[in-house]
Amino acid sequence: MFIKEVLKSHLLVLIVLVLAAASAESQGLVSATILSSEGPVEIRRQSNGQPTMTRIKYHISDVLNGGDVIKTNMGGRLVLGLTDGSQAVISENTTVEIQELSHSPRTLFNVLRGKTRIKIEKVGGQPNPYRVNTPTAVIAVRGTLFDVIVKDKDTQVFVHEGEVIVSSLLKPDQPVVLTSGQKTRVRQQLAPETPTPFERGRNNDTFAPGRGRANSAFAGDGGGPFGTGSPGQSGNAPGLGTAGAPGLGGSGAPGNSGGKGGGRGKP
């Protein structure tokens, strides 16, 4: 009798642990969704059983997969949204690889080249840990607004809000901590440079919607660092018009009409 009671108790504890683990896993699942697309942008994906990556058609609100590669050309711009409210602006002439966000610690993506602005939202007022990788650096964030600029074998990180930890990919034992208004640089095979200050509003023009317009929305006063939304577009598939997705800090404009055979986008 005693043994049966012990077994029942252990079974009950096991069930509780399994349910708790399943609940934690479901709460931790994060996916990346396309909020808006502007100019020349392409997304490549490796299909099952295929040795090479191929360009795919995409639309606003599509969810991206781990391993997808986003490439923006001159004048291109893509805004991604995560299920936890975090967002990222991928500027022109940039290539990033989406990572598998279900893994822990979560790595958002690899910035292979170009310029990306990322805003990680806290969850319930608590830190929301992510990592961003580049060819020379690992960037650990918990809830902040920062820029990552990659050129050749050189990574620059600018923190507008919050705090990030930057370490060299080859020398991880010499990290630096950046707080609001500080930047650093990580060159190949070197530790991060000592943090230095930068002027408010740095890089805002780079991430503004529409090259050369609406730049004031990214100034520190007024629209905030993430500015207003840009017009939504269909991703390059004909016949689909979509509504403008919310921008980072503002609302989106009505969507454009679709391609051949497409009507006007719904507001």
Pair 76, 194 in one domain:
yes
Assigned domain for 250 exists: no
**Per-residue confidence (pLDDT) for residue 210, from 0 to 100:** 74
Residue 257 lies in a domain: no
In a domain, 59, yes or no: yes
Q: What is the pLDDT of residues 150-201, one digit of tens each?
A: 998 999 999 999 999 999 999 999 999 999 999 999 999 899 999 999 999 9
**171 & 117 share domain:** yes
pLDDT tier for residue 254 given thresholds of 50, 70 and 90: very low
pLDDT digits 0-9 by tens, 178-187: 999 999 999 9
Which two tokens mark 263? 């009507």
Q: What is the mean pLDDT of the chain?
A: 76
Mean pLDDT of 86-94: 96
18 and 92: one domain? no
**Residue 232 belongs to a domain:** no
Q: Which domain holds residue 7?
A: 1-29
Please check whether residues 171 and 182 belong to one and the same domain. yes
* Domain match, 71 and 112 both: yes
Give the count of beta carbons closer than 10 Å to the beta carbon of residue 214.
Answer: 18
Please indicate, yes or no, whether residues 127 and 152 belong to a single structural domain of this protein: yes
Does 224 reside within a domain? Answer: no
Residues 6+ apart with CB under 8 A from 30: 82, 83, 84, 101, 102, 106
Same domain, 117 and 3: no
pTM score, whole prediction: 0.72
- Residue 122, C-beta contacts closer than 8 angstroms, at least 6 positions apart: 128, 142, 143
Comparing 124 with 265, the larger pLDDT belongs to 124
Inside any domain, residue 151:
yes
Query: Same domain, yes or no, for 196 and 126?
Result: yes
For residue 149, what pLDDT is reported? 98
CATH of the domain at 134: 2.60.120.1440
Longest Cα–Cα distance in the chain? 79
Q: Flag whether 172 is in a domain.
A: yes
Q: Are residues 24 and 127 in the same domain?
A: no
Segment among 46-50, 71-75, 190-194, 204-208 with least mean pLDDT: 46-50
Based on the fold, state whether residues 82 and 103 are members of the same structural domain: yes
How many domains does the structure of the chain reveal?
Answer: 2
The verdict on residue 245 lying in a domain is no
**In terms of domains, do 22 and 39 share one?**
no
C-alpha distances (whole Å) from 106 to each of 37, 99, 215 are 25, 8, 32
Q: Same domain, yes or no, for 208 and 112?
A: yes
Residue 135 pLDDT class (50, 70, 90 cuts): very high
